[in-house]
């Protein structure tokens, strides 16, 4: 399978990528690791007429200590997130989740920024960043702006990124030793989650986020409120699917996903509460 024809241009800097986006408009797509976009293009589910390759912008691949948070360059690969000792010590949830994305070959190419900008509700990393209360730094023609992860995911494969904007950095608050859990339920090792749950303890904000339970990656607001108001794990988990309209597909009906969400949220909250 080969993609439809397109023009390929390589950006030498973030500024050049933004300028190229401005030049080509919404006919253009950014190419980072390509592990979300190229499969879609091969299936002809996406057919951008211009690909702007930002994959060589090594200055956007870093993990750096920002004091109360860690700043991660958008082009940092899953493999490097997984193996970062700074992330392992300051927010163990994130490297753990990065290590569950796809398989080793995918993690050698796929990037954290690419995964977030793709905005797939079935992906692992958006839920992790939502639960951790991350902030996304976006560069456009007029400069940089910051968007909270909770405001970033707008619709199915739609984000707050404008057609001439580039995600450059993800800032994530340190977890301060809080408990955490990531529950990924799938049928085969390398698959997307049928349902997934990312959760962190109260010292880290108490965020709980769900994979594949809506058309976008979502926070489980009802669970978070229940936990904050002192509900039991059992009662909080029972509200996991409240207000959500999960998709149905070959792997699972919407009803099964709602059931899975309550079970996985219960397991996640139990793990958050029990020290590792």
Query: In angstroms, what is the minimal distance from the CB of 274 to other proteins?
Result: 23
Cα distances (Å, whole numbers) of residue 179 to 10, 90, 276: 42, 12, 8
Q: For other proteins, what does the binding mask look like between residues 144 and 183, x meaning CB under 8 A?
A: ----------------------------------------
CA distance 63 to 236: 34
| Binding of other proteins by 253 (CB under 8 A) | no
Q: Which is nearer to other proteins, 118 or 258 (CB)?
A: 118
Asked whether the beta carbons of 244 and 214 are under 8 A apart, the reply is: yes
Distance CA 47, CA 29 (A): 9
- Is residue 6 near other proteins by the rule CB under 8 A? yes
Report residue 246: phi and psi, to 5°: -70, 155
x/- string (CB under 8 A) for other proteins, residues 187-206? Answer: --xx----------------
Residues 78 and 11: their CA atoms lie apart, in Å, by 22
Which stretch, 31-39, 89-97, 126-134, 268-276, contacts other proteins (CB under 8 A)? 31-39
Residue linked to tokens 């009802």: 222
Indicate whether 5 belongs to the interface with other proteins (CB under 8 A): yes
String of contacts with other proteins for each residue 103-142, x by CB under 8 A = xxxx-xx---------------------------------
Looking at residues 37 to 76 of the shown chain, list those that interact with other proteins (rule: CB under 8 A). 38-39, 42-43, 51, 53, 55
* Nearest one of 223, 62, 193, 72 to 127, comparing CA atoms: 193
């Amino acid at each position: 399978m080969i993609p439809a024809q397109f023009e390929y241009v390589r950006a030498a800097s973030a500024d050049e990528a933004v300028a190229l986006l401005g030049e080509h408009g919404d006919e253009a797509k950014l190419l980072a690791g390509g592990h979300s976009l190229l499969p879609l293009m091969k299936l002809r589910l996406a057919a951008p007429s211009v690909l702007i390759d930002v994959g060589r912008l090594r200055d956007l691949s870093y993990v750096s200590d920002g004091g109360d948070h860690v700043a991660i360059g958008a082009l940092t690969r899953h493999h490097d997130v997984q193996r970062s000792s700074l992330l392992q010590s300051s927010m163990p949830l994130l490297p753990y989740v990065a290590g569950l994305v796809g398989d080793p070959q995918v993690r050698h190419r796929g990037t954290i920024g690419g995964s977030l900008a793709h905005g797939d509700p079935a992906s692992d990393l958006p839920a992790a960043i939502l639960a951790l209360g991350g902030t996304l730094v976006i560069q456009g023609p007029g400069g940089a702006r910051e968007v909270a992860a909770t405001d970033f995911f707008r619709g199915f494969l739609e984000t707050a990124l404008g057609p001439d904007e580039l995600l450059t950095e993800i800032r994530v608050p340190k977890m301060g030793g809080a408990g955490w859990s990531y529950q990924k339920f799938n049928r085969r090792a390398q698959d997307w989650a049928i349902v997934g749950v990312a959760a962190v303890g109260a010292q880290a904000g108490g965020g709980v986020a769900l994979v594949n339970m809506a058309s976008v990656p979502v926070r489980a607001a009802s669970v978070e409120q229940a936990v904050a108001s002192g509900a039991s794990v059992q009662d909080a988990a029972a509200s996991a699917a409240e207000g959500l309209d999960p998709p149905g597909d070959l792997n699972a009906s919407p009803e099964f996903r709602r059931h899975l969400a309550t079970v996985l949220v219960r397991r996640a909250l139990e793990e958050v509460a029990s020290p590792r």
